[in-house]
Chain A
Amino acid sequence: MHIRTEKAERHTLSVLVDNEAGILARIAGLFSARGYNIESLTVADVTEDEKISRITIVTSGPRGVIDQIISQLDRLIPVHKVTDLTELGAHVERELALVKVRGTGDHRIEALRLAEVYRARVLDATTSSFVFEVTGGSEKIDKFLELMREVGLIEVARTGVAAIARGRDAA
């Protein structure tokens, strides 16, 4: 007997929650307990009184599982609202990465040139290294990192995806 797996879709979910102790554990634990994937998760409070946080989760799974994830999140007591931004369509997703690259000579010049193409900013420089700040969709950042690997990537810090619906209204 072998274990079978099903075809997965990638979805970005935006979840508004009460900003209280343990909320992240509640969300993360729901995913692990029910065997759902988390590709990325970001969280910060988003209201003036700091009482509500927005959690952005990128997950993947078969269609039915995505629907279950939304329903299961919705049933947590501190959750106010769950929006499937992927399903909604028009939305923007951004991620920020800090990328350390080491190299001299041609590698150094190449790194700078690539950074320019990707509109990455130099946050720190030594004679043999750079720290770049790059923002964009996850794919752009993946691509940037792939290129940097060739010229001397040392380490990376990524924020994970923040996302919001396009247009004038709240999703």
Chain B
Amino acid sequence: MEGEAMVTERSGADILIEALTDLGVEVVFGYPGGAVLPIYDAIFNQTRIRHILVRQEGGAVHAAEGYARATGKPGVVLVTSGPGATNAVTGIVDALMDSIPLVIITGQVPTGLIGTDAFQECDTIGITRHCTKHNYLVKDPAKLGDIVHEAFHIATSGRPGPVVIDLPKDVQVATAAYRKPGTANLPHKGYRPQVKADPSLIGAAVEMIASAKRPILYTGGGIINSGPAASQLLRELQRLTGAPVTSTLMGLGAYPASGDAWLGMLGMHGTYEANMAMHGCDLMICLGARYDDRVTGRLDAFSPDSTKIHIDIDRASHNKTVQVDLPIVGDVGRAMEDMIKMWKASQHHKPDLTAWWAQIEEWRARDSLYFPPSDTEIMPQEAVRRLHEATKARKPIITTEVGQHQMWAALYMGFEGPNKWLTSGGLGTMGYGLPAAIGAQLGNPNALVIDVAGEASIQMNIQELATATQYKLPVKVFILNNEYMGMVRQWQDLTYGGRHSHSYSDSLPDFVKLAEAYGWTGIRIEGPDELDAGIARMLETDGPVMVDCRVSKVANCFPMIPSGAAHTEMILHANEVSGEMDDEAKALV
């Protein structure tokens, strides 16, 4: 800090704020503590970045995920050292699994105290090393600017993911010069994700599609991550090729649920036609999905007779579980654009897939989304269907918790566009939905945002009700209250002879009173005759609303491919299936 210095020096905390502002950050989700007080003081002195105070750090990360998924921009989190950082870990893993771009800034004890078991010290770098795309311990404020810029570049490019910046308190206070770096100056020269796919491979893919008799487009979250243009390109690729489209849980909305070629979601709780078409296709075109075990079922029986094309920006996704014939590394949106160009240039006609579609219609006729209706109690599927009918005109953003309600929302909501469906797919984190809805609402103030929840999951981050109240966010929480950890109970029904070990949601709070205690409106829906009116009241009510919708306690989620079974071994709309499985099946996830 010599007086004659040409560039003014500022504190690490100010450099952080400056860099975040340069990167276009508008919202930070955070929670203060000793090790981040200098940053909080820097936040106090400015108006460019809005800080949203959550009620637990876990909520901050999920809110940032919701914000990112709904806006396409990276989510930013600020938490203190020790317990602040450890509370954030679940959300960080969640973002890694679902490829959500996040930058998480964690406070750390001063550099001199690192390694001494200081108050609120934990090895944040060690803990998060393998659940981040990358992480940094910053020891010099002069390097902080470059690191923040690189962290955003890494989080948002290639296969997106969470990046942690661990910032010791003395580095927040010490001063240095900050200049906005160009991407050429970033520290890691080796990081160059391959965005453009090899044209010869794209050409090969186009020829394969043109000559396929039974093609299928198997789409995933990569299309959403690629940006809204990729969803449009998918639709055009479908129009040109005439191929049917299915999607993973993470990719819903990329192709419209009302589209003619839509087969519904695939996988463990996917539709019969989607799974049978995956099984029976002669060409599988996997676009930004990763052959997850929830999609493939038993690997040795997975689509045995198909040729497989796999386009993914992450080379490590290729041949990880399923061997593919044509792996292509690149951004899926760009790759589809190139495929469309080549398709047109080679003047391919739309292939005649009449026989394939006739076969698919037969599978569709099984109506795998049918469920037994009831006059006396609300069927959860019916509740979601009514919710969809009542809200679809407003193109709502739907978040979920984890469990049966999540699958029902995926199957019965019907998504027409990208960035409208926010769910914890890879990690399956209960407690995701409410904070994610808060983040989504912040990024889209005028949107209708609904968390379709379970009565068990919603309690995992219930404290975030206060965050919505504080920031006047009109989030809606629609609880499908079956008084069970329904998905656990379902597996116990199917695998453990119906022994419901600790899956009953005992001692539930009165959700209406709970909502009111937090300044929300609470609504209870008891029976089928109250369903539509209850939903209507939720939608009419300004401000945040929590609906306790009492649904059938025993309904199970079908269709289902039992764990370890093949796509052809689906259980369709069974009323009650009970049984015991052998040890091999019990050992599967």
Chain B's closest residue to A30 (CB) is B130
Among B134, B137, B316, B318, point to the contact of A77 (Cβ < 8 A): B134
State which of B183-191, B200-208, B416-424, B492-500 sits at the interface with chain A.
B183-191
- A158 → chain B, closest Cβ, in Å? 27
B584: CB under 8 A from chain A? yes
Among A18, A29, A68, point to the contact of B319 (Cβ < 8 A): A68
Residues on A close to B: CB < 8 A? 1, 16-18, 21-22, 25-26, 29-30, 33, 64, 67-68, 71-72, 74-81
Determine if A77 and B191 form an interchain contact, defined as CB atoms under 8 angstroms apart.
yes
B237: CB under 8 A from chain A? no
Chain B residues with CB below 8 A from A21, complex form: 137
Determine if B315 and A74 form an interchain contact, defined as CB atoms under 8 angstroms apart.
yes
Determine if A71 and B315 form an interchain contact, defined as CB atoms under 8 angstroms apart.
yes
**How far is it, in angstroms, between the C-alpha of A81 and the C-alpha of B191 when the chains are bound?**
10
Determine if B190 and A75 form an interchain contact, defined as CB atoms under 8 angstroms apart.
no
B358: CB under 8 A from chain A? no
Among B126, B129, B137, B314, point to the contact of A75 (Cβ < 8 A): B314
Determine if B583 and A25 form an interchain contact, defined as CB atoms under 8 angstroms apart.
no
Chain A residues with CB below 8 A from B188, complex form: 18, 77-78
B320: CB under 8 A from chain A? yes
Report, nearest first, the 3 A-B pairs whose CB atoms are least far apart: A80-B190, A71-B316, A1-B583
- B103 → chain A, closest Cβ, in Å? 14
Chain A residues with CB below 8 A from B583, complex form: 1
Known: A17-B190, A75-B159. 13 other contacts (CB 8 A): A1-B583, A21-B137, A26-B129, A67-B319, A68-B319, A68-B320, A71-B315, A74-B316, A75-B314, A76-B134, A77-B133, A79-B190, A80-B190
22 contacts between A and B (CB under 8 A): A1-B583, A1-B587, A18-B187, A18-B189, A18-B190, A22-B125, A25-B126, A25-B129, A30-B130, A33-B130, A64-B319, A64-B323, A67-B319, A68-B316, A71-B315, A71-B318, A74-B316, A75-B315, A76-B134, A77-B133, A77-B154, A77-B190
**How far is it, in angstroms, between the C-alpha of A18 and the C-alpha of B134 when the chains are bound?**
13
Query: Which of B154, B190, B314, B587 neighbours the largest number of chain A CB atoms within 10 Å of its CB?
Result: B190
Chain A residues with CB below 8 A from B133, complex form: 77
- B148 → chain A, closest Cβ, in Å? 15
Interface residues of B toward A: which range? 20 to 34
**How far is it, in angstroms, between the C-alpha of A18 and the C-alpha of B189 when the chains are bound?**
9
**How far is it, in angstroms, between the C-alpha of A18 and the C-alpha of B188 when the chains are bound?**
8
- A21 → chain B, closest Cβ, in Å? 7
Chain B's closest residue to A76 (CB) is B134
Residues on B close to A: CB < 8 A? 125-126, 129-130, 133-134, 137, 154, 159, 187-191, 314-316, 318-320, 323, 583-584, 587
Chain B residues with CB below 8 A from A78, complex form: 188, 190
Chain A residues with CB below 8 A from B316, complex form: 68, 71-72, 74-75
- A29 → chain B, closest Cβ, in Å? 5
- A11 → chain B, closest Cβ, in Å? 16
Determine if A1 and B584 form an interchain contact, defined as CB atoms under 8 angstroms apart.
yes
Determine if A29 and B134 form an interchain contact, defined as CB atoms under 8 angstroms apart.
no
Chain A residues with CB below 8 A from B126, complex form: 25
**How far is it, in angstroms, between the C-alpha of A64 and the C-alpha of B319 when the chains are bound?**
7
**How far is it, in angstroms, between the C-alpha of A16 and the C-alpha of B189 when the chains are bound?**
12
Among A22, A64, A81, point to the contact of B129 (Cβ < 8 A): A22
**How far is it, in angstroms, between the C-alpha of A21 and the C-alpha of B187 when the chains are bound?**
13
Chain A residues with CB below 8 A from B129, complex form: 22, 25-26, 29
- B193 → chain A, closest Cβ, in Å? 9
Chain B's closest residue to A64 (CB) is B319
Chain B's closest residue to A52 (CB) is B190
Query: Which of B126, B130, B584, B587 neighbours the largest number of chain A CB atoms within 10 Å of its CB?
Result: B130
Chain A residues with CB below 8 A from B130, complex form: 29-30, 33
Chain B residues with CB below 8 A from A16, complex form: 190
Chain A residues with CB below 8 A from B154, complex form: 77
Chain A residues with CB below 8 A from B187, complex form: 18
Chain B's closest residue to A29 (CB) is B130
Chain B residues with CB below 8 A from A72, complex form: 316
**How far is it, in angstroms, between the C-alpha of A74 and the C-alpha of B137 when the chains are bound?**
22
Query: Which of B159, B189, B316 neighbours the largest number of chain A CB atoms within 10 Å of its CB?
Result: B316
